[in-house]
Amino acid sequence: MENIPETEVEDKSEQWHNKNHTPKGRGICMDKILVVEDNAELSDTLCRNLKAEGFTPYAALSLAQARKYLDSGIDLCLLDINMPDGDGLAFCRGLSENTAIPVILLTVRDEAHDMVQGLSIGADDYVTKPFRMDILVSRIRALLRRVRNRRPEDGSLYCGDVCIVVVKLFCNICG
């Protein structure tokens, strides 16, 4: 199990209590981020900071818990490689092969061959611990922006659980 000192991830959640300042990304469609991290303290810190940044975080302390969220309209997955109930890389491969959910690996493994392996099996980005929260949030926003800029061939627009088929003037809300 990985133990990252709390001081390594700066907690920004308190700064958003100012009424005159709302975090970027906040609005009608808040992106759903699945945080798959077995360190409960780090998971909680990540979720608080992501919520403060305008995201809707879902915490999973195991791969089994993470699987339960996959039908919830998840927009992005932050995934630790070293999980107590399985291999995070195998989970990432499954996401890559069976869903369109982008994955950022979040791990203490900082060797080049680990990074190459993670990106080769389908991860969209690779972030090593310790990390800066502001940089992680920037990477999340950049990845979501790239994913959203890919135009579906059928002309549909997606926002979380909502799919708008523009050509047919049809809207489907799942979940």
Of the pLDDT bands very low, low, confident and very high (cuts 50, 70, 90), residue 163 is low
Rounded mean pLDDT of 29-34? Answer: 88
What pLDDT does 168 receive? 61
Q: Which of 4-18, 39-53, 150-164 has the lowest mean pLDDT?
A: 4-18
Say what the pTM is: 0.73
Selection from 116, 150, 138, 104 nearest residue 23 by Cα: 138
Per residue in 106-125, pLDDT tens? 999 999 999 999 999 999 99
Where is 128: in which H helix or E strand? strand 125-128
Ramachandran bin of 73, using left for φ above 0, alpha for ψ from -120 to 50, beta for the remaining angles:
left
Q: Name the 3-class secondary structure at 78.
A: strand
Q: 159 pLDDT exceeds 80? A: no
Of the pLDDT bands very low, low, confident and very high (cuts 50, 70, 90), residue 2 is very low
Where is 47: in which H helix or E strand? helix 40-52
What pLDDT does 158 receive? 61
What pLDDT does 170 receive? 58
What pLDDT does 27 receive? 40
Q: Which CATH class is domain 6-173?
A: alpha beta
What pLDDT does 83 receive? 96
- Domain definitions of the chain by residue range: 6-173
Place of tokens 């993470």: 66
Q: What are phi and psi of 72, to 5 degrees?
A: -100, 15
Tokens of 165: 């088929």
Place of tokens 């709302």: 22
Rounded mean pLDDT of 118-142? Answer: 96
Residues 6+ apart with CB under 8 A from 101: 34, 70, 74, 75, 76, 77, 95
Where is 58: in which H helix or E strand? strand 56-60
